[in-house]
Amino acid sequence: MKYTFVERLLWILLFCLLAVLPMIIAVTGQTPERRDFWIEFGVMLGFLGFAILAIQFVLTGRFRWFAAGFGLDNILQFHRQTGIFALLLVLAHPAILMVYDQDFLVYFDPRANAPRALSLSFVTVATVVLVASSLWRLTFRLSYEKWRMIHGLLSLAILVLGTGHIIMVSHYSEPLWKQAAFSLIAVGAIYLLAHSRVVRPFLMRRRPYQVAEVRSERNDSWTLVVEAKKHPGMSHRPGQFAWITVGDSPFSMQQHPFSFASGATSPRLEFTIKELGDFTASVKHLRRGDPVWLEGPYGAFTFKPGQAKGAIFIAGGVGITPIMSMLRTFRDQRQSFPMTLVYGNRNWEEVIFREEIEKMSESMPLEVVHVVEEPLDGWEGETGLIRKEILERHLPPDRHDHHCFVCGPTPMMDVTELALKQMGFPPWNIYSERFDMV
């Protein structure tokens, strides 16, 4: 399910309303004496920063009623950008006040008020650490699990201390109802965090899965096959993904998103995973019966036959996985709409699902274009990286009536998205899936 234009607009309006809510609470009802513009502006930026920080808990909570229509990668991209914006606001708030009136320096003076100074200093430094550790996680050599724990704890501490700061400063929060309203915003955000990190894993305990098989694929990849233990399992749309936790407890910080490779009609759930990091390299060591926990399904990277004249799939390497789920589903359903697959790989030996795709192209209306970076002697197909000229050559003439699905490494996604845009594809017909955001 993808949101319509009007639905998207309504969500954006709601975001704006939530963002200005603390400011509205502050200036509603009984308000203090007027102050100069720059002081009021600095204060309002503080309220805006508080709101933007609180909204991050909604964005990152993986709530299906919200995430389903936008796609996780878009939401995480939005989270990333607005998180940077929140940091700028948290820094601009004291900076503007202190530059305009140096008396505000006293807020950072522990001799004047130690708890206030320490909490403010902590919030400022913690917000910088929060954003920097996310933007440069790999530079700081932080594992995903450690980063996720630090990210959750720091954001929680910042929100609690930020609420305390608003109430302690009391300029705009004198009446009790205002203090209650600001506290309620913080409590709501904390509940969302607790829901995704505690309540949801607790509910997952009722729906355990186990490893049924681990199959070797080309290109250092493995297909993990899981089956439900004493429950009906999970139904998903082709192209969606789930968060996988391996081990005895679903409360582990080791939770990773992987696309379903199996078709929506398959009774067993399959995930094809390439060895890229610590967790992905451990998949091959899993044995039949090992406990697995699944959270999902998520994702708007799906195609419903009939919603367009045809579908164009553009994959790079293991990015074929969600597309394979779609192709397998449409093969099993005997769909007859035209499909084109442009599939880029380093060399012919690394082409995951090569044989199955060839068979599919014989039994369904699927045109396959392989693009190989390092071709063997005698290769007659496309070479190099997926680029505009290749797409121009192979996409169908009535391409603008098709929906286009792109999944692969970031550089390939950037080039392909730009090429499709230049070729006149309406952006709302282009679906992309990026997992390098997490």
Partner 1 sequence: MLHIYTKRLAIFLSVLLVVVSALIAWWRAM
251 binds partner 1 (CB under 8 A): no
Distance CA 398, CA 135 (A): 40
Q: Which of residues 23 and 320 has its CB atom nearest to partner 1 in the complex?
A: 23
Q: With CB under 8 A, what is the number of residues at the site for partner 1? A: 39
- Does position 417 interact with partner 1 (CB under 8 A)? The reply is yes
Q: How far does CA 197 lie from the centroid of its chain?
A: 16
Residue 42 φ then ψ, to 5°: -60, -40
Query: Residue 69 or residue 291: which is nearer to partner 1 going by CB?
Result: 69
Q: How many residues does the chain have?
A: 438
Candidates 77-85, 225-233, 235-243, 330-338: pick the segment binding partner 1 (CB under 8 A): 77-85
Q: Is the CB of 382 or the CB of 417 nearer to partner 1?
A: 417
Question: Which x/- pattern, by CB under 8 A, does the window 7-46 give for partner 1?
Answer: -----x--xx--xx--x---x---x--xxxx-xxx-xxx-
End-to-end CA, the chain: 22
User: Which residue number, 92 or 234, has a Cβ lying nearer to partner 1?
Assistant: 92
Q: In this structure, are residues 225 and 268 in contact, taking their beta carbons and an 8 Å threshold?
A: yes
Q: Please, which residue, 39 or 156, has the CB nearer to partner 1?
A: 39
Please say which residue, 370 or 402, places its beta carbon nearer to partner 1.
Answer: 402
Backbone angles phi, psi at 183, to 5 degrees: -65, -35
- Residue 388 CB, nearest distance to partner 1 (Å)? 15
Strand, helix or coil at 366? strand
DSSP string, 399-437: GGGEEEEEES-HHHHHHHHHHHHHTT--GGGEEEE--TT
Closest CB to partner 1 among residues 3, 63: 3
The rounded distance, in Å, linking the Cα atoms of 401 and 407 is 20
Binding mask 49-68 for partner 1 (x = CB under 8 A): ---x----------------
Pairing mode, if any, of strands 339-345 and 430-433?
Answer: unpaired
* Selected binder of partner 1 within 354, 399, 402, 434 (CB under 8 A): 434
Tell me which residue of 327, 351, 212 sits closest to 261, measured CA to CA. Answer: 327
Tell me which of 224, 327, 412, 413 binds partner 1, using CB under 8 A: 413
Contact window for partner 1 (CB under 8 A) among 117-125, 360-368, 382-390, 410-418: 410-418
Q: Are strands 255-259 and 241-246 parallel, antiparallel or unpaired?
A: antiparallel
> Can you tell me which of 81, 170, 265, 422 binds partner 1, judged by CB under 8 A?
81
Comparing CB distances to partner 1, the nearer of 393 and 421 is 421
Is the CB of 23 or the CB of 228 nearer to partner 1? Answer: 23
Six-digit token string for 199? 């309540």
Interface with partner 1, residue 391, by CB under 8 A:
no
The SS3 assignment for 352 reads: coil
Which helix (H) or strand (E) covers residue 164, if one does? helix 144-169
Beta strand 291-298 pairing with 310-316: unpaired
Q: Rounded to the nearest whole angstrom, what is the least distance from the CB of residue 42 to partner 1 in the complex?
A: 8
Q: Does 82 bind partner 1 (CB under 8 A)?
A: yes
Six-digit token pair at 375?
């071709």
> Which chain residues interact with partner 1 by CB under 8 A?
12, 15-16, 19-20, 23, 27, 31, 34-37, 39-41, 43-45, 47-48, 52, 70-71, 73-74, 77-78, 81-82, 85, 413-414, 417, 421, 427-428, 430, 432, 434
